[in-house]
């Protein structure tokens, strides 16, 4: 089985970006933890971060060609803006879990709506880097 972990815009700044909201864990640490979880479950792993909506859409298309079984995605700000990411995930029909470090529902109202949540297998938010660990564990359980 193959799991793909996707990260949207500004998540490359984790560790220095608003640590009171997003914590001090870096993206490399999050990716390493997920890679370790997948290896322990004998599941293939790849990860990708981009600040570009187009690159994320193209990475999702490639996931279909690569026969990825499950996607864990933190769409970051594109959560609240991107019909294109929604359509890409719907188009490839790869099951996915939506993840957020913060709890968008406890923040500004423009973060309350997600273009992806109703298509997701599940949504995990508000638990910092632990949100990712729980999402990867849940994905591995489904495979």
To the query of whether residue 20 is one of the catalytic residues in this protein, the response is no
Q: Are the CB atoms for 71 and 63 separated by under 8 Å?
A: yes
Q: Give the Cα separation of 78 and 119 in Å (integer).
A: 15
- Distance of CA 24 to CAs 49, 92, 122, 123, 142, Å? 18, 33, 25, 22, 29
**80 labelled binding-site residue:** yes
Q: What number of chain residues touch ligand DQA (CB under 6 A)?
A: 10
Q: Who contacts 42 (Cβ-Cβ below 8 Å, separation ≥6)?
A: none
**Could you say which of 3, 94, 104, 136 contacts ligand DQA (CB under 6 A)?**
104
To the query of whether residue 132 is one of the catalytic residues in this protein, the response is no
Q: Determine, following the binding rule CB under 6 A, whether residue 59 of this chain makes contact with ligand DQA.
A: no
Question: Which position among 7, 20, 100, 130 bears the catalytic label?
Answer: 100
Q: Determine, following the binding rule CB under 6 A, whether residue 79 of this chain makes contact with ligand DQA.
A: yes
Least Cβ distance, residue 36 to ligand DQA (angstroms): 21
Q: Determine, following the binding rule CB under 6 A, whether residue 100 of this chain makes contact with ligand DQA.
A: yes
Q: Give the Cα separation of 67 and 84 in Å (integer).
A: 21
DSSP state of 106: G
Q: Toward ligand DQA, which CB reaches closer, 111 or 130?
A: 111
The residues binding ligand DQA (CB under 6 A) are 10, 74, 76-77, 79, 100-102, 104, 111
List active site positions. 22, 100
């Amino acid at each position: 089985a193959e799991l793909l972990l996707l990260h949207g815009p500004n998540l490359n700044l984790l560790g220095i970006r608003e640590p009171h909201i997003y914590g001090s864990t870096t993206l490399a640490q999050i990716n390493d933890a997920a890679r370790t979880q997948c290896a322990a479950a004998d599941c293939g792993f790849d990860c990708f971060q981009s600040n570009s909506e187009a690159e994320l859409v193209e990475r999702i298309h490639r996931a279909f060609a690569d026969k990825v079984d499950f996607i864990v995605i933190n769409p970051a700000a594109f959560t609240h803006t991107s019909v294109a990411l929604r359509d890409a995930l719907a188009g490839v029909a790869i099951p996915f879990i939506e993840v957020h470090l913060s709890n968008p529902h406890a923040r500004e109202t423009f973060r309350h709506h997600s273009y992806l949540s109703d298509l997701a297998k599940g949504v995990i938010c508000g638990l910092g880097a632990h949100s990712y660990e729980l999402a990867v564990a849940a994905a591995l359980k489904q495979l």
